[in-house]
Structure 1
Amino acid sequence: MKSLVKRAQRGDDQAFVELIEENKQAMYKVAVGILKNDFDAADAIQQSILTCYEKLKELKKAQYFKTWLLRILINNCNQMLREQKKVVGIEDYYGAEDTKGKKAEEKIAAPPGAATINEDFLELLDQMEQQYRVVLILYYVEEMSIREISQILQMNENTVKTRLSRGRGVYKKLYLKEHPEFQFE
């Protein structure tokens, strides 16, 4: 990946496209995990790719490209969430269902080749606070190390460990609430 980054920094557009192709699944999973909506995730990804393209020459260490790209994406997702809190959409009153009763998000498929994530897992993640949801997605879905997560989220490794532990606890409670047959007395 280092050589692709170096080529892209020198202006090779094809190298940049290859970099994005290598990271599109990770970007999709993180964006959907934060925003819970394919439309917004697509917007955040598009904005992140544009920002990455414009600022690529500022990246000092090529080996941190993925970390840097995901940090840009997370910042864009957080910005979108802040903006959404200011605006109340019509869906809040009427729901985002079309005339056939299907939600708009259900009609959009993941990008080709994207790994499917267990629906139960996603539903439970949606019920969690963002601070835990993001860490769990990066750790379990993207299989990132504690160190990588701390770099992306710009926080201490111990904070990541704490959020991961608390997130697991919240997830366990939610899971057992929905699946009481797995509870032991």
Structure 2
Amino acid sequence: MQQDMVLDVQRAQQGDREAFIRLFRMLEPQLYSLAKSIVRRDEDCADAFQETTLKAYKGLATLQQPKYFKTWVIRILINECNQLLRIRSKTLVMAELPEAEPPFHYYEDSSKLDLHEAVDNLDESLRIVIHLFYFQDLSIKQISSVLDISQGAVRTRLHRARGILADEIKRKQEGKLTYENI
């Protein structure tokens, strides 16, 4: 998989548009999920993704090591999301309308919902590190590079976030009754 990505990056750098499209189609779910965890609104996610795609396409020739394409694109996306948040905070004149509730899936695993809800409630710096480590499968070294923080800071944030998540899940589990308990 990694080798295919490197080949597609090299092809895209040589002008192969189809290779670039394949790269972004492959990364789209992960990038959208990351953007959603930062900006939270679907329209902002779409804007950040679109700007990221454009900047990556224009700057692809400057990427010196194709094996770092994914982390390079993630860094661009995070910067775009932060830019959108800065613009939003400066131009927010009217109260935001509440976002529509996501559709409820009756058969979805509630423990997954609890975990995703707990991750969404984390402070942004912790949420991004958790998202990059667990959902994007980036290494501590890659996260350090993407966020421009030390590897020790990444480990500290992961440790703090795991503790908060464990406490939150434990608290929610204690409040639930099961048929075995009755």
Specify the TM-score bucket, using the shorter chain as the normaliser.
Answer: 0.7 to 0.9
Give the letter for the 1:180 counterpart. Answer: E
C-alpha separation between the residues in 2 aligned to 1:54 and 1:119? 38
Distance 1:173 1:88, change over 3 A: farther
The aligned residue for residue 159 of structure 2 is 165
Residue of structure 1 aligned with 2:144, choices 127, 140, 150: 150
Percent identity reads 36
5+ long unaligned stretches in structure 2:
104-110, 177-182
Give the letter for the 1:106 counterpart. Answer: P
C-alpha separation between the residues in 2 aligned to 1:26 and 1:50? 17
TM-superposed CA distance for 1:170, in Å, is 2.2
State the TM-score, normalizing by the size of structure 1.
Answer: 0.80
The aligned residue for residue 108 of structure 2 is none
The aligned residue for residue 75 of structure 1 is 79
TM-superposed CA distance for 1:147, in Å, is 1.4
Structure 1 residues 32-51: Cα deviation after superposition (integer angstroms, max 9, x where no partner): 11112222111111110000
The aligned residue for residue 52 of structure 2 is 48
State the TM-score, normalizing by the size of structure 2.
Answer: 0.82
Give the letter for the 2:162 counterpart. Answer: R
The aligned residue for residue 102 of structure 2 is 106
Report the RMSD for the aligned CA atoms in angstroms. 2.1
1:75-94 to 2 correspondence within 5 Å? 75-88=79-92, 90-92=94-96
The aligned residue for residue 62 of structure 2 is 58
The aligned residue for residue 123 of structure 2 is 129
C-alpha separation between the residues in 1 aligned to 2:175 and 2:98? 33
5+ long unaligned stretches in structure 1:
98-102, 108-116
**3-state SS in 1 of match to 2:154:** helix
1:18-57 to 2 correspondence within 5 Å? 18-57=22-61
TM-superposed CA distance for 1:96, in Å, is 2.8
TM-superposed CA distance for 1:27, in Å, is 0.5
Give the letter for the 1:32 counterpart. Answer: K
TM-superposed CA distance for 1:152, in Å, is 1.5
1:9-24 to 2 correspondence within 5 Å? 9-24=13-28
Distance 1:79 1:106, change over 3 A: same
TM-superposed CA distance for 1:177, in Å, is 4.1
Distance 1:34 1:52, change over 3 A: same
